[in-house]
Amino acid sequence: MPRIISVSLSESLLEEVSRIQREMGFSGRSEVVRAGLRRLIAERRERERLSGRINSILLVVHEREDEDIVNRIKHEFDDVINTQLHSHLRGEKCLEIFILDGEAERIKEIVDCFETCGKMEYVKLIIP
């Protein structure tokens, strides 16, 4: 039996969920949220299976004002960061591209740091 939970969303995020619902034909906003959660869970499971030494690419989009958070995390993981590219996007957004090489556990840690700090707009790990 489905359980009902309460979730707080900003007005802009709620508008985005409604837009996705309309454009993709979801029956309601709850379906959009469930689809997003299923995708997050699948990505998390895939990441949990990583082991050994790996190469990967990490994409991070953030507000320019959060540059200090990115730098703090970056310096904690200089042992796995091979290369970093920084680019200014439209508005006050920045794109970071990290080329990572190291033990899967360390790479999972850096991704977790970016995802859980609460300030990154987009975090995506790519395993070639």
Angle between helices 29-48 and 11-24 (to 10 degrees): 90
pTM assigned to the model: 0.79
Q: What is the pLDDT of residues 2-11, one digit of tens each?
A: 888 998 999 9
pLDDT surpasses 90 at 43: no
- Residue 50's nearest CA partner among 123, 120, 116, 109 is 109
- Answer yes or no: is pLDDT of 99 > 90: yes
Over residues 105-125, the pLDDT tens digits come to: 999 999 999 999 999 999 999
